[in-house]
Structure 1
Amino acid sequence: MKNIQKLLLLALLLGLVGCSHLSKPSALSGEKKSNYQQVKLEPALMFELLLGEMLAERGDAFSAYNLLFPIAQRTQDVRLAERSFQLAMSAGFAEGIEQSALLWRSLDPMQASAWRAGYLMALRHGNLDAALDLWQSYRKVSDVDLEDELKNASAQVVQTADQETAIAFFKALMQLYPNEWSAGFGLAYVANHHQQPLLAVETLEQVAERLEVPLEVYFALANLYVEQDLTSRGLAFLADFIRENPEQWMMQERYARLEVKAEAYQSAKLRYQKIVESNPRAFTSLLSLALLQLELNEYQAAEKGFNTLLNVDGYRDVSYYYLGVISQNNQEFKQALHYLKQVAQPNYYLDANLLIAQILVKIEGLQQGLDHLQALKPLTREEQVRVLRAQGIFYSQFSLWQSALDYYQQALALAPDELSINFSMAMVLYELKKFDEYERLVKELVQRYPNEPDVLNAMGYFYVERNIRLDEAEELLDRALAIDPNRYHILDSRGWLAYQRGDYDQAEHYLQRAWSLQKDDEVLIHLVKTKWAQGKQEKAKTLWNKYAPLFPDNNVLQRLINDLVNN
């Protein structure tokens, strides 16, 4: 009863009952139409109106609309048309939005909201011409600035229209407003929303080249370049802007990200340093700088940055983690464990504990590391896989190949498409001399990952080592080198293939390149053998004498010269 009284009072205050005029215009409607009529609500309509408002109050906007809209149609009252529109919007009732907006704008042609709903509904139906006509009618009564209007429209259109219609609509708006940068900005937003990032980039580049545009256009471009790995394109297009705006720090930061992706590390480092020097509270840039210094093996400088970030909320856990990484790299295992045990944030907690387990294996033995892993409680399938994989790695380090295989198989049961685990399992199968299983697995990986150089190399080198199917091995290894010409172990495989064929000069060429990239014990064995086979025994001995002491645990290498002399 109290709700009925409340609604009746509300209706009286709004002038919707008794002797009030239903055609009285609302404060927002401007001049009413000349054919408005003075209408009194009949008792039955009054009941439906009150019932509809009660349903609306209880959250049933759909039923409320179905009661109020027929009254609005019958009375032709602008306020009831507007109220019906509001209810249809609340209910997300597309047909009701369209019907009530049409009635509303017929009663009040100056009402912008009704015209906006009209063009959006036309787009929903894929009626581009009607949408453009309604858009222009809307713009005649809208008091929103065109620049803001176009940006707002892009967010509304992507929720209303399909991809083809939405993009076509904004392309038409770009033709309608050729000198308005926000039309292109809107098209770029729509294109990116519909997974057409290249169209978004092309549009923003064209706008930036033709018109004077604000920072947000360049910022949107920079984000797209970073997200889509358009590194070279982004560096080239933004170069002038970056040079001419040295204190646009957000853009400088994005440009530094692109430089990192392009492996222009020194340039990126200098840029991050300038950002941090100019804005000591640019903590994200300080973190990026510290991570870059870590990548460049500048551990002391990186450590300084992470220590600064320990005092900043939101950066503490990541800093503890990487300080642990630095301490581990410096063989300061006790300090590393101290830092890593401080990590509590879920994003870094598992990484920290996997590293703790690795350190425990190093300083206390396999069982201590395994015990630490067993105590972890991974919450997700991904975390379970990572823990199982770590157990496989630890067993492999101690040549406990069957145990390693068991854990890799458990990991693959949860993540059968994880390439790194498949690859690790293949290596274990090789060590167990299960060559048929190894070959079957790696062949399958070659089919699934035909452009993964390590997979191609694993298959090719297997054939080379067994001195079989050498033509197929050559094809696999050459494909791998075409993808990544500077992987030392692939160059080593290719050189060993040439050795197996007796082409020692070609073998030396590949192996010398591999050795220049990485001082690896297996590469050294192959290179010494090759020089010996070429008749360059003194050079082989000199090479062995100089570098064999670096690998005291490789027994094959340590006795290599004696074996060559005796053979």
Structure 2
Amino acid sequence: MKENILFSVAGVVLGFFIGFFIANMGENQPVSTMTRAGSPARSLDPAQAGAPLPPGHPNLSGGNNAAASSAQAQTAMDAADRNPQDFTAQMKAAAAFYQLESFDKAELYLTRALALKPNDPDALTGMGHTKYDKNDFIGAATYYEKLLAQRPGDADLLADFGSTYARRQPPDYDRAIAEYRKALEIDPRHEQALARLADVSLSKGDKATAKDAIDKLAAINPSSPVLSTLRSNLNR
């Protein structure tokens, strides 16, 4: 089973976080100008900035500097570090690093953002997804649960919340299935919830539930990229 397809965070929920970054770029900093990871860009020099970087600042020397090599990420990082009480600046830096899959650095700035606004839905979404992408599924569940208190009818969020139970070790398949069913009560055509319900049911050996979910998914989207794998696993 290709987990990157089945268990990647739901796109609509992810849009809340990445959308925050896009919406706050400003007229002089279009997203299209972001330097691709690996392209040359001058590293930030704290001495030139006139002040040392604050405690907890990501290390810019050695290791994987793909995120630090992005001029856009550097700009966002610099603004966040110079203005630690600016919530928007912390979120922009977090989103820039998240887009570049530098999740440790994204987590740092999200931690700062949540210290300023503990219940902000964009910051909670970002931290939940960052934890999820770091395979910290218990940590991700904590933030998704806080979001669900604000948005109990969000099917995407329920699907992701359920997957934190399916993917943790040891998995809790029953709880995962319960959350997928909640998502499907809200949106019976939710493809990710159906696919994940089928996959987790197969893991439990419940082929009847899996077949029902696969049939519903096929009726909704016959070209779903996960159908062939799900059917193959069903027929084993």
User: Shorter-chain TM-score: which interval?
Assistant: 0.5 to 0.7
Residue 55 (structure 2) pairs with residue 219 (structure 1)? no
Partner secondary structure for residue 351 of structure 1: helix
Between the aligned residues of both structures, percent identity stands at 12
**Paired residues for 1:94-243 under 5 Å:** 219-221=26-28, 224-225=30-31, 229-230=34-35, 232-243=70-81
Partner secondary structure for residue 392 of structure 1: helix
**Paired residues for 1:236-251 under 5 Å:** 236-251=74-89
176, 193, 196: which one aligns with 1:355: 196
Residue 110 (structure 2) pairs with residue 269 (structure 1)? no
Could you say if the C-alpha distance between residues 326 and 217 of structure 1 is closer, same or farther in structure 2, counting changes exceeding 3 Å?
closer
Alignment partner, residue 212 of structure 2: 371
Could you say if the C-alpha distance between residues 347 and 250 of structure 1 is closer, same or farther in structure 2, counting changes exceeding 3 Å?
farther
Is the 2:94–2:110 Cα contact (8 Å) retained in structure 1?
yes
How far apart are the structure 2 equivalents of 1:348 and 1:310?
20
Deviation, 1:367, is: 5.0
Count of matched residue positions in the alignment of Structure 1 and Structure 2? 178
Alignment partner, residue 62 of structure 2: none
Residue 173 (structure 2) pairs with residue 333 (structure 1)? yes
Q: Deviations over 1:491-527 (max 9, x none)?
A: xxxxxxxxxxxxxxxxxxxxxxxxxxxxxxxxxxxxx
TM-score by length of 1: 0.29
Residue 200 (structure 2) pairs with residue 393 (structure 1)? no
Is the 1:317–1:348 Cα contact (8 Å) retained in structure 2?
no
The runs of 5 or more residues in structure 2 that have no matched partner are 1-22, 37-69
Could you say if the C-alpha distance between residues 268 and 325 of structure 1 is closer, same or farther in structure 2, counting changes exceeding 3 Å?
same
**Larger RCO, structure (CA 8 Å, separation 6 or more):** 2
How far apart are the structure 1 equivalents of 2:205 and 2:24?
56
Alignment partner, residue 518 of structure 1: none
State the one-letter code of the partner of 2:205.
E
How far apart are the structure 2 equivalents of 1:313 and 1:293?
19
Is the 1:252–1:271 Cα contact (8 Å) retained in structure 2?
yes
Could you say if the C-alpha distance between residues 313 and 239 of structure 1 is closer, same or farther in structure 2, counting changes exceeding 3 Å?
closer
Deviation, 1:315, is: 7.0
Alignment partner, residue 283 of structure 1: 121
Deviation, 1:398, is: 6.2
290, 301, 305: which one aligns with 2:139: 301
TM-score by length of 2: 0.64
State the one-letter code of the partner of 1:342.
K
How far apart are the structure 2 equivalents of 1:369 and 1:309?
28
Partner secondary structure for residue 90 of structure 2: helix
Deviation, 1:377, is: 7.3
Alignment partner, residue 51 of structure 2: none
Could you say if the C-alpha distance between residues 287 and 315 of structure 1 is closer, same or farther in structure 2, counting changes exceeding 3 Å?
farther
